[in-house]
Structure 1
Amino acid sequence: MATITKISAQKRKGRYNIFLDEQYAFPVSESVLIQFRLAKGLEIDAQLQAKITAAEAKAQSYQLALNYLAHQLRSEMEVRRYLKQHDVTYPVRQQVIERLHQLKLVDDANYAASYVRTMKRTSDKGPIVIQKKLQEKGIAPELILNALDLYSDGALLANGLKAAQKLAHRYRRLSFRQQQQKIRLGLRQKGYPQDLVSQLLDRLDLQKDDATEWQALVQQGRKAWRKNARYSDKQRRQKTKQQLYRKGFALLQIDRFLAEQPVETEKAGND
């Protein structure tokens, strides 16, 4: 049986070195020092030392989890994954998680609610994307549904309309039909359900403007015309017409644009 002959503080606050029979033996945290009432002159057998070692592993793992939680809220799965990445054994992970639950430092219901409130306030993401993100964090389905109830219909409509307006501005140089398609796709990708997307497009109240449509066609048409310059005049016009039609422009407008382009009779075919 060994005897504690010296206890010295480390440079790291709350950490101590234990010496047995004048020889360095092991380090402990302050919580373990207090828990086992470690003091000079205390005799330590193998069984007690094993308990101290186990308690120290738990204390260090708990502190590791606290450091991880200090920066932001985390889901239980995130904490478990973090501890595992730092080689914390499964039994110790369980003990740490139980203690964090008791202290409400890990609470998936609170995490989900906080996440939804933050996304509602700071982003234009819809409920489908939010649900997927929470699923990736390991949140249980019922907790996700409860949290999504915090996203009121009014807030969802307001955020969706802002997102739709941004998309409309981004795609303003496209044909009216393609602009609508891009807005619809963009809203779906942001996580808004199909029925709400249709409602948002109605609220957006986009109006087709012939002058704007023509300007967009000319811009897209010039790009296509230059791109197809290597073809014969007939092929060039054919390909340009097909490309503009796929972009949603009306055939009458496309024909008008092509009629304004000079005829090149000497261009060799090279399909």
Structure 2
Amino acid sequence: MATITKIQPQVKRDGYYNIFVDDAFFCSLSDLQVSVLSLKVGQDLTTELQADILKSSKVSKTYSRALYYLQYGPRSVAQMRTYLIQKDYELEYIEPVLETLQSEHYLDDSLLATNFVLERQNSKHRSTRQLNGELRKKGIAPDIIEQVLSELEDDDQLIAIRSLATKKMKQARYQDQTKMTQYLLRQGFTYSNVKEVLAELAFSDNKF
């Protein structure tokens, strides 16, 4: 039967240990995992316990990589899954990590979508159609997208149109109302909202 022959603290990572079985490196574990698994030098390991230790180690490594990715900004569940797969982590360990991250609120697609929409509305003046497309690219589920976008008020879209139109009117070609209307419609804004906003602005060819 295999035996733990050494539990050695890692030099570069506080709170982590290298586990040696029969004098050969077996895996690395956090101090919490060592405690939970009740591991100690001289302990004999059954095949089943070895498998449990390896699984715990791989889940821990997957979790650590996920937290590293989150340091660079919030991610959707789909984005995190894709990232971990691309880094060659196994789905067997990815899925439980995703569940843990969601339970800990490190991953929250509804909150991510809501914050993203608010940011894009304020800084980029996006239409609901554009926002829908951008959220889909992030892998946000259609039902979450529908819920988040349904909470947008018409006033939010009117403000976005007004800001975008005011900015575009600084360019000579967009001082023409027809061209401005066509541009805004291409961005995905509704005709009724575009009409309402542009009626307030002064164009040389006012047609509303």
Q: How does the TM-score come out when normalised to structure 1?
A: 0.68
Name 2:182's counterpart in structure 1: 185
**One-letter amino acid of the structure 2 residue matched with residue 131 of structure 1:** N
Residue matched to 1:112: 113
| 1:31 Cα deviation from its structure 2 partner | 3.6
Distance (whole Å) between structure 1 residues aligned to residue 145 and residue 84 of structure 2: 24
Q: Is the 8 A contact 2:78 2:138 kept in 1?
A: yes
1:216-266 deviations in whole A, cap 9, x for unaligned?
xxxxxxxxxxxxxxxxxxxxxxxxxxxxxxxxxxxxxxxxxxxxxxxxxxx
| Residues 5-44 of structure 1: pairs in structure 2 closer than 5 A | 5-10=5-10, 11-44=12-45
Distance 1:83 1:128, change over 3 A: same
Q: Kindly provide the CA deviation profile for residues 177-213 of structure 1, in whole angstroms up to 9, marking residues without a partner as x.
A: xx334322332343322332222222223135xxxxx
d(CA) in 2 for partners of 1:53 and 1:175?
63
**Aligned amino acid, residue 19 of structure 2:** I
**1:30 and 1:190 mapped to 2: Cα distance?**
53
Partner of residue 50, structure 1: 51
Q: Specify whether residues 23 and 139 from structure 1 end up closer, same or farther in structure 2 by C-alpha distance, changes over 3 A only.
A: closer
**Secondary structure, aligned partner of 1:169:** coil
Which residues of 2 match residues 144-223 of structure 1 at below 5 A?
144-170=145-171, 172=172, 174=173, 179-208=176-205
What is the Cα-based RMSD across aligned positions, in Å?
2.2
**Alignment partners' CA distance in 1, 2:100 and 2:114:** 22
Gaps of 5+ in 2: none
Distance 1:26 1:126 in 2: 51
Higher relative contact order (CA 8 A, sep 6+): 2
What CA distance in whole angstroms lies between the structure 2 residues aligned with 1:120 and 1:175?
21
- Quick one: distance in 1 between partners of 2:89 and 2:22? 30
List per-residue Cα deviations over 1:158-188 (Å, max 9, x = no partner).
2211101111212x1x496xx3343223323
1:162 and 1:142, CA in 2 relative to 1: closer, same or farther beyond 3 A? same
Letter in 2 for 1:34: S
Give 1:62 deviation, angstroms: 1.3
CA deviations over 1:107-138 (Å, ceiling 9, x no partner) = 22112111112222222111110111111222
- C-alpha spacing 1:194/1:106, structure 2 compared with 1 (3 Å): same
In 2, the alpha carbon distance for the partners of 1:127 and 1:43 equals 61
In structure 2, what residue type is equivalent to 1:149? S
> Would the alpha carbon gap of residues 203 and 175 (structure 1) be closer, same or farther in structure 2, given more than 3 Å must change?
closer
5+ long unaligned stretches in structure 1: 209-271
Partner secondary structure for residue 191 of structure 1: coil
Q: 1:26 to 1:144 in 2, by over 3 A?
A: closer
Does residue 1:100 correspond to 2:101, yes or no?
Answer: yes
- Counterpart code for 1:88: Y
User: Is contact 2:3–2:42 with CA below 8 Å preserved after alignment?
Assistant: yes
Indicate if the aligned counterparts of 1:16 and 1:30 stay in contact, CA closer than 8 A: yes
The answer on 1:2 being equivalent to 2:16 is no
Change (3 A) 1:128 1:13: same
* Equivalent pair of 2:16/2:30 in contact (CA under 8 Å): yes
Other-structure match for 1:69: 70
The runs of 4+ residues in structure 1 deviating greater than 6 Å are none
Matched pairs, number: 205
Classify the secondary structure of the residue corresponding to 1:130: helix
State the match for 2:141 in structure 1: 140
- For 1:65, give the aligned amino acid: A
Change (3 A) 1:151 1:4: same
Q: Which structure has the bigger radius of gyration? A: 1
